Amino acid sequence: MRGLIFLAIAVAIHALLITAQGAGRSIPLDLSSAFNAKAASTGLNDTFADFDGSGRAFPVEFLPSESSFTFDGIKFALPPFHNATAYDTVRSASQVIRVDESGEFQSLHALASAVWPPSSSALARVGNVTFAFAGGSQFTASIIVGPWYSDSPFNGPIHTPWHYANGSLEYNNTVDHNITHILYATMRVPSALPLVSITLPEPDTYINWFSITLRSASSSLPSVPVLGVQSVRSTTKWFDSELPSTDSIQIIEVRLDNLAPLDGTTDSWIRTPYNVSISSSDSSLITVVPATLKRLRSNDQALLRVGDQHGHEVYRSEGWEVTAGIPEWVKGDASLATHEAPEWYDDAKFGIFIHWGVYWSQRGHHLDSSMRSGRPTSAFLTYAALAVIRYNWQLHNPPDADSPTWVHHLQTYGPDVIYDDFIANFTAEAWDPDEWTDLFADAVRATLSSSRSITMVLHCSTWELVAQKCDRDGAKTGYSQELFDSAKTRHPELHRGTYYSMPEWFNPDYAPYARTDFPGQPALYAFNHSCCEPYFGHIPVDNYLEDLQRPQIEKLFYEYDTDILWCDEDGASAFSEIAPAWYNYAAAQGRQSLGTTDLSQKWESSAGMDPFSYGYNSNTSADAYMNASEIIVELVDIVSKGGNFLLDIGPKADGTVIPEESGPLLQVGTWLRTSGDAIYSTRPWFVQSADSTQGIRTPEGGVLNVKAPVPVLEGDTVRMLGGSQDRWLERECGGREL
């Protein structure tokens, strides 16, 4: 069925839905003179194509042959992918791109992808783009670009089912079957002055550009808002409720611009609240949750969430295509790629995760004392969290004096003690799951009565999942389940997550999928190199993925009712086979679940309160732990860029959380109770470049002048967070100061 999707913003505001001459147009920039690499390859023998600097490239047959491409309401000019002798991408190297069509612009939109050096891995990259304006002024801001491929099944606007690999770097494989992407990125452009040129990021950002388009702003100074709908997008997310997904209210996102210039008067702002709804020409789309737009200043943008409740047809109109309804997920990348990080996850911003397991029963002494006064030594991994969890691995790799873990173990326990002997010591005699969940809830909730979604992720050891089938003196099991039960009962507002490592270092059944770091064979005794150490909990299976990995993950799905599953380490995985059933199971309960694959679209950053270890390390001094001020600064920085912050703690082997971790967490919780509105449920829209800090000084006269284009109007009341006194003063000259 076909229908027209249109935006309705109440009768009183319809007159404001105007577009000044030229505003809202897509202006593609000419990148042809800057192209310096070939992304599209004609085949294995094409030596000209080298997208990432390591010989990898896109298969040209899956790339568009057209000269233009439209995504998210923006029209792009495409490079000459199908010209085998022409460059078609720009490896960022501070190139200056001229803007031939002079004028003011609202935003920059790009088709780009991040690559990485051979020693790195698939990560998003951040680069600074500098805009030069008539008169000589400049504006610099950051843009975030996702990786051109990863193990996660997500789809960029343009994507191919695989790419040509470099056999010398990838175990003689010449084809990598990960879905490979050209991605979309956007950023704001100040529209007060005509734009002259754009300077791309420096080479070490590893960003490659295919197309850049500018969205034009109004060149006049209008007396009313100049609004433009950039895009309308249906999602597979729904508004949180107790309803199953079949009755849920689907979220449709509307991206709305105020294209009036930055220096326009406040008459060009939306200054009073309006409801935003969508409908189709045949009335088959029903808006049941209109979005509320309270204020939208000039040169600003709002991402609005509108709730629709209806069928499963796909509607097409003059520019917008929406899928009404949320389909069930089925096996295959095409379906899994439509699953999105839930709205509650994007709203949460701050979460806690825990590293606690058998590896703590060595009393936390395995980390080198030289790390007490600085970062880990070169003998250790960059972040010693891995030295904690990889104790058994580093005990055997290498099994000699070159391994600090091997030396420590020999000196502390002697040559006859193996890793599994620590299990009996893991008794957790002071364990109280209620104390943990109370601490986490107090640390991250905005107000005592808040129903905000917050996240707790537990690093669940495989030992926890199999130990109940085995017998080991002194060791208790079921900690994860007890913690989840406590959270469900005491703090149902907590979203609960689990960690699962796809491979196991020394499990012999992993042999068919083995690689260097995960050999898939029992460990030799570390001190005499004889074969072989026992592998606690090992129950031989015919198929590692189906007989071991799958039932363990399904236990987390259906017995723990986990909301989040973090699948760590790449390699062989059963997740894609079992994820659709989990997504549908959770949806039938009205829960929106989150897998690692969904983090392709919504990023998070993690850190440990201990600067050297994700878990407890007795060699870390009390003053080395992150304090509340450091946590808050990190949280604000991450949230301002659109990410979530996942903070780790490491309880002691007895189950207690040390004051150096619990104290700052509670202080952060106190801060969030007054400042949480600036953190939770926010979405980024960059309004100015970062300040260059030469030093810190006291504001003159005790007045802090904020130069950012904050949407503040005369008559607004500004209060110092956590206080009651008005601090917003009117100046005689007409300005305002804090």
Write the secondary structure of 615-637 as one string of H (helix), E (strand) and C (coil).
CCCCCCCHHHCCCHHHHHHHHHH
The residue assigned the tokens 């609240």 is 273
CA–CA separation, 131 vs 96, rounded Å?
10
Highest mean pLDDT among 99-113, 212-226, 361-375: 99-113
CA–CA separation, 594 vs 239, rounded Å?
15
Q: What is the mean pLDDT of residues 191-198?
A: 95
Q: Worst-scoring range by mean pLDDT, 444-458, 486-500, 565-579? A: 444-458
Q: Worst-scoring range by mean pLDDT, 45-54, 66-75, 223-232? A: 223-232
Task: Quick: pLDDT tens for 575-603.
Answer: 889 999 999 999 998 899 988 766 666 78
Residue scoring higher pLDDT (252 or 318): 252
Token pair belonging to 209 = 């550009």
Going through 480-563 in order, the beta strands assigned E by DSSP cover 494-501
Nearest to 64 by CA among 43, 78, 52: 78
Torsional sign, CA 75, 251, 680, 647: negative
Percentage with pLDDT > 70 across the chain: 80
According to the model, what pLDDT value does residue 66 have?
Answer: 96
Highest mean pLDDT among 417-426, 615-624, 653-662: 653-662
Token pair belonging to 320 = 């917008």
According to the model, what pLDDT value does residue 7 have?
Answer: 40
According to the model, what pLDDT value does residue 219 have?
Answer: 81
Q: Is 601 buried (19+), middle (13-18) or exposed (0-12) by CB count in 10 A?
A: middle
According to the model, what pLDDT value does residue 659 have?
Answer: 97
The residue assigned the tokens 């079957």 is 177
Residue scoring higher pLDDT (118 or 611): 611
Q: Worst-scoring range by mean pLDDT, 144-153, 537-546, 618-627? A: 144-153
According to the model, what pLDDT value does residue 246 have?
Answer: 58
Indicate the pLDDT class of residue 689, thresholds 50, 70 and 90: low
According to the model, what pLDDT value does residue 738 have?
Answer: 54
pLDDT value at 128 more than 70: yes
Nearest to 618 by CA among 428, 318, 433, 384: 384
Q: Coil, strand, or helix at residue 104?
A: coil
According to the model, what pLDDT value does residue 355 have?
Answer: 85
Indicate the pLDDT class of residue 157, thresholds 50, 70 and 90: very high
Q: What is the mean pLDDT of residues 562-570?
A: 83
Contact between 416 and 643 (Cβ < 8 Å): no
Domains, in order of start, for the chain: 9-17+223-327 (2.60.40), 26-216 (no CATH), 350-365+378-678 (3.20.20.80), 697-737 (no CATH)
Percentage with pLDDT > 90 across the chain: 40
Token pair belonging to 63 = 């790339």
Token pair belonging to 64 = 């568009």
Nearest to 192 by CA among 244, 264, 121: 264
In terms of DSSP H, where are the helices of 97-151? none
Average per-residue pLDDT for the chain: 81
Indicate the pLDDT class of residue 21, thresholds 50, 70 and 90: low
According to the model, what pLDDT value does residue 67 have?
Answer: 96
pLDDT value at 274 more than 50: yes
The Cβ of residue 206 has, within 10 Å, a number of other Cβ atoms equal to: 22
According to the model, what pLDDT value does residue 448 have?
Answer: 37
Token pair belonging to 370 = 């030289």
Contact between 325 and 338 (Cβ < 8 Å): no
